[in-house]
Amino acid sequence: MRHSHPLPGAAHHRQAALPPEAGAQERAQILHGLLQPQARLSPKYFYDQHGSELFEAITRLPEYYPTRTERAVLRRHARAIRAAVGAGGVVIEPGAGSCEKARVLCRLLAARQFVGVDISADYLQAAVARLRAQLPGLDARAVGGDITAGVQLPDDIARQQRLVFYPGSSIGNFDPDMALALLRHMHTLASAGGQAQDTGGILIGIDLPKDVAVLQAAYDDDSGVTAAFNRNILAHVNRLVGSDFDPQQWRHEAFFNTTASRIEMHLAACGPQRVRWPGGGRDFAAGERIHTENSYKYPLADFTALLQRAGFHAPQAWTDERGWYALVHARA
Ligand code: AVJ
């Protein structure tokens, strides 16, 4: 195997790395991806402290329309969304993070309970504490965990009128089969009441296909913030597995794959690269790429079909005037 043998311990131009921070299993997963003929990293590794700050900066870029468009859709169709979802229920948000979108939605729906779920448990805990202070009538909880691994909610979360809220077009980061599995899990969470008259459902943000130049600019902005965000994954991976990637030697690439209807982000080696980590390493030729992200852009009909395959029904969608982004509600 060309890529998997330990490299000779010759003198190296960079300092010895610190010991890996990731556990054995996670480390093995990351290295497995790096050793594929087409190297890949999971986009979840974008989000260390610095990466989360860079993503915040992306959401404020003039080119990055999804965040502000989603906010506009929610504002524009607030009454209709409230009428469809119903007031006074439970809002469950996977990947709740700062809980800023949750605050807007819980206020709109006069929600009784909120459950934020996030891998960054400490960050979430602090955000949920702020949410409680801002909406005193809301019983807000933080649950640390990864929705893709399947979460258990506390027993005292009401089982009726549950709404799974999944904004930000985060569903677009998963391949369609994984997205379907995730939507099925969300369906289970939303239908915990188990009765036909239960009004559980999902409210999910979807980025729609549009002019390729608009998509391209959103993922390759003029100020280079997205490029820095993409490169930062290597600094994070260095800490996780003890590798010695030099992020400055990798070029940001983003393009729309029309066949798959997705933006792809890659990092391309600026010159030949020898990357090492404890126990192994890999050489990359100049121009060789690491695939870091897919961001699917679903035509609305394709996405509602996916929702139906996951067990949801009666989908209803609201969009902005340009038809760039949709908030979709469906019943469990
Ligand atoms: C957080 C998944 C919605 O796909 O648009 C932004 C991440 N990547 N710029 C997206 C991202 C590059 C973003 N999501």
Q: Whose CA is closest to 291, among 10, 92, 36?
A: 36
Cβ of 69 closer than 6 Å to ligand 1, yes or no, is no
Cβ of 66 closer than 6 Å to ligand 1, yes or no, is yes
- Token pair in block for residue 125: 């805990």
Cβ of 173 closer than 6 Å to ligand 1, yes or no, is yes
Protein residue with its CA nearest to atom 1 in ligand 1: 170
Mutate to test the pocket of ligand 1, among 55, 63, 215, 298 (most ligand atoms within 8 A of CB): 55
pLDDT of residue 236: 97
The torsion defined by the Cα of 16, 19, 25 and 26, in degrees rounded to 10, comes to -70
Q: How far is the CA of 2 from the centre of ligand 1 (A)?
A: 33
Q: How far is the CA of 294 from the centre of ligand 1 (A)?
A: 9
* Distance between CA atoms of residues 52 and 118, nearest Å: 13
pLDDT of residue 197: 67
pLDDT of residue 256: 98
Cβ of 170 closer than 6 Å to ligand 1, yes or no, is yes
Protein residue with its CA nearest to atom 14 in ligand 1: 170
Protein residue with its CA nearest to atom 5 in ligand 1: 295
Give the domain ranges of the chain: 24-50+213-296, 77-209+297-331
In 3-state terms, what secondary structure has residue 113? strand
Q: How far is the CA of 295 from the centre of ligand 1 (A)?
A: 7
- Structural fold of domain 77-209+297-331: Rossmann fold (3.40.50)
Q: Tokens 């549009």 — which residue?
A: 210
Cβ of 89 closer than 6 Å to ligand 1, yes or no, is no
pLDDT of residue 188: 93
pLDDT of residue 120: 82
pLDDT of residue 316: 98
pLDDT of residue 99: 93
Q: How far is the CA of 164 from the centre of ligand 1 (A)?
A: 20
* Distance between CA atoms of residues 70 and 294, nearest Å: 20
Cβ of 243 closer than 6 Å to ligand 1, yes or no, is no
Provide the β-strand partners of residue 280. 277
Cβ of 116 closer than 6 Å to ligand 1, yes or no, is no
Residue pair 3/40 in contact (Cβ under 8 Å)? The answer is no
Q: How far is the CA of 261 from the centre of ligand 1 (A)?
A: 15
Cβ of 232 closer than 6 Å to ligand 1, yes or no, is no
Protein residue with its CA nearest to atom 9 in ligand 1: 219
Positions in the chain short of pLDDT 50:
1-15
- In Å, what is the CA distance from 297 to each residue of 50, 211, 225, 301? 26, 11, 21, 12
Query: What is the distance of C-alpha 297 from the center of its chain?
Result: 14
Q: How far is the CA of 289 from the centre of ligand 1 (A)?
A: 19
pLDDT of residue 57: 95
pLDDT of residue 117: 95
Cβ of 226 closer than 6 Å to ligand 1, yes or no, is yes
pLDDT of residue 152: 86
